[in-house]
Amino acid sequence: MRILDLALNDLSQLFRDIKILIFFVAMPIAFTFFMGFALRGTAEPQDPRLALGWANQDPEGLISQQLYEMLSDSQVIRLVKLDASETDKQVRSGDVAGVLIVPEKYSANALAGQPAQLTLVADPLTTTGQSLQQVLRTPITQLLSSLKIAQIDAELIATQEPFASDAERQAEIEATFQTALQAWTEASASGSLLVVEKAVTEVPDAPLGGNAYNQTSPGILVQFVIFQMFTSALILIQERKTRCLQRLITTNMRPSHLIAGHWLAMFAMAFLQTAILVIFGQLMLKVNYLGSPLGTLLVAIGLCMWVASMGLLIGVVSKGEEQAILFSLVAMFVFTSLGGAWFPLEGAGKLFYTVGHLTPAAWAMDGFQNILVRGLGLSSTIQPTLILLGYAFVFFVLAVWRFRRRTDV
């Protein structure tokens, strides 16, 4: 009970200060929102397809409509609707890789067998320009060959029985054109034709699971839980300054009870903050910590035990509040920057990734992101948790050893 009473006393002292509450809840939430907005662009899926400007001056034409539908389904290009007057500007600025211009009455002229030509505005000497030519060749060839089939069919029918009117002939050509184009489409879908688009890699999955807060929520959580080492260490420093710690030692309370009571208070404060930020992330930011609730709990316990042990060590070795602030800030910035709390370690290079995993913060981030980003379960959090507990044990042993050696306590 003495251990529990000492822990409750520590917590009551901490929560009397309104500044502690600001750092405890308000600051982490504000930083989470800020960093989430900063990373939002990287979390959105990037479209790797070539941007092709679509300047259609024949919007009601049958062939231009069919071409638009075929290109819209492409895995290689994405259409960007433009006005024909914007063609040169968009290509020069690099906003699009090229522009396909469909002239007025293109469909009508093509169906009537009159000259009709599409225009591709692109640099044929560049890779993107050559790629666009290759990609467009397939659908345009299918359209023109279907149209040619329809015209030949109409000529054969006319030799046997002339059409009553041009409108009847036009209707026959359009119907046959649709049938031939459908046959091309079905042949392409069945794999009986070699289609250029099928050789291109599909759009990759969205980074960070499509939610930037999958990085910033656990990252800011780890950062501010580490910083709580400072507020927790203040208790030990204040007790030494007021000689309260010395008086406690002269009582029948064992030094091990003193250490355990202060450690328990630090753990409880860190765990309470973690729980608040996890609940906030789950409810407000759609960060799925409950994808594996037990896994999240294990990582949180491991993280808070390590932070409590290191906070205890800082409180023991610091000679004053200034030193405690300095040690806590150094620990926070070093562990969070190297540990992937600010950005994913996977994209930082092999060396940085390896060095980062020498810090406990990296293992805490791994444990959380195995659940949030990678969609893994409880088993994926066991190794990070065990490593965090190992760090907690080392720092706790160092704190106890240093506590016993202090001559002023």
- 328 and 389 housed in the same domain: yes
- 109 and 37 housed in the same domain: no
Cβ-contact 231, 23 below 8 angstroms: yes
For CA atoms 58, 60, 64, 69, the dihedral sign is positive
- 326 and 235 housed in the same domain: yes
- 268 and 344 housed in the same domain: yes
At residue 203, the pLDDT reads 39
Domain count, the chain: 2
Select from 180, 199, 218 the last residue of a domain. Answer: 199
- 64 and 156 housed in the same domain: yes
Whether this prediction's pTM lies above 0.85 is answered by no
- 135 and 174 housed in the same domain: yes
At residue 392, the pLDDT reads 92
Q: Please list the ranges in the chain whose pLDDT falls under 70.
A: 1-28, 31-48, 125-127, 184-210, 230-233, 235-258, 347, 404-409
- 362 and 313 housed in the same domain: yes
At residue 294, the pLDDT reads 94
Using CA atoms, how far apart are residues 409 and 36, in angstroms rounded to an integer? 45
User: Which CATH number covers residue 56?
Assistant: 3.40.190.10
Cβ neighbours, 10 Å, residue 350: 8
- 256 and 358 housed in the same domain: yes
220-266 pLDDT per residue, tens: 888 888 877 766 667 666 666 655 555 555 555 565 666 777 778 78
- 35 and 71 housed in the same domain: no
- 338 and 247 housed in the same domain: yes
Using CA atoms, how far apart are residues 24 and 228, in angstroms rounded to an integer? 8
312-352 pLDDT per residue, tens: 888 778 777 777 778 878 888 888 888 888 787 876 777 88
- 193 and 281 housed in the same domain: no
- 230 and 177 housed in the same domain: no
Select from 148, 165, 199 the last residue of a domain. Answer: 199
Domain that holds residue 389: 2-44+207-405
Select from 142, 171, 199 the last residue of a domain. Answer: 199
* Cα–Cα–Cα angle for 86, 88, 89, rounded to 5 degrees: 65
